[in-house]
Amino acid sequence: MKEIRWHGRGGQGGFTASRLLGIAASVHGGKHALAFPSFGPERRGAPVLAFTKIDDTKIHDRSEVQESDFVVVMDETLIVPGFEKGIKENACVLINTTDVEQYREQLKGFDLRGIDATTLAMEVLGRPITNTAMYGALAAASGLVSKEAAIASIHTEMKPKLAQLNEKIVERAYELINN
């Protein structure tokens, strides 16, 4: 089983990205998946965690992810002391940042990758909603789902106009990670 932890803030779409990944894996990828949020007070800007579990067989364990294979950080201010707890050694940590190198010392032992998802979202959406950029980047970095499945999940869940814009974001994020 692969376990993914999503760090974001209320309003950034972390749970939506987690759910899209689950849909891509299960509906469009032939696997089994669970996606669920974990948060305290529901308010815009508050820290939010979301989780996705993906496996080839039915998932019976519905508990919170304890040892992440992949971690997605939509807001780099959430990388605080202790952040690395519960992340497997050599796990991929994907950060929305313009400078991933600043985290190399703090996050030793992990496969760090960075993408400027905020700028990408602003260019395409005109708003700093980074969830689909980070989702596309994760699809590219992890190989958990194909680019086609990631895009199909967006069309499954979003209205056509919004889906078109988010498809562009996923494609560009995918290319940025793979180049």
CB 137: neighbour CB atoms within 10 A? Answer: 29
Chain segment 42-78, per-residue pLDDT in tens? 677 888 999 999 999 999 988 888 899 999 999 999 9
- Enter the pTM of the model: 0.94
Which residue is it, tokens 């689950």?
A: 22
- Amino acid, res. 24: A
Q: What domains sit in the chain, N to C, each tagged with a CATH number?
A: 2-178 (3.40.920.10)
78 φ, ψ (degrees, to nearest 5) = -85, -5
As a whole number, the mean pLDDT across the chain is 94
Interval 98-121 mean pLDDT: 96
pLDDT confidence of residue 28: 97
Q: Residue 87 CA to chain centroid, in angstroms?
A: 15
For residues 178 and 160, the model is more confident at 160
Identify the H or E element spanning 32.
strand 32-38
Is the distance from CB of 13 to CB of 130 less than 8 angstroms? yes
pLDDT confidence of residue 41: 60
pLDDT at 97 over 90: yes
pLDDT confidence of residue 61: 87
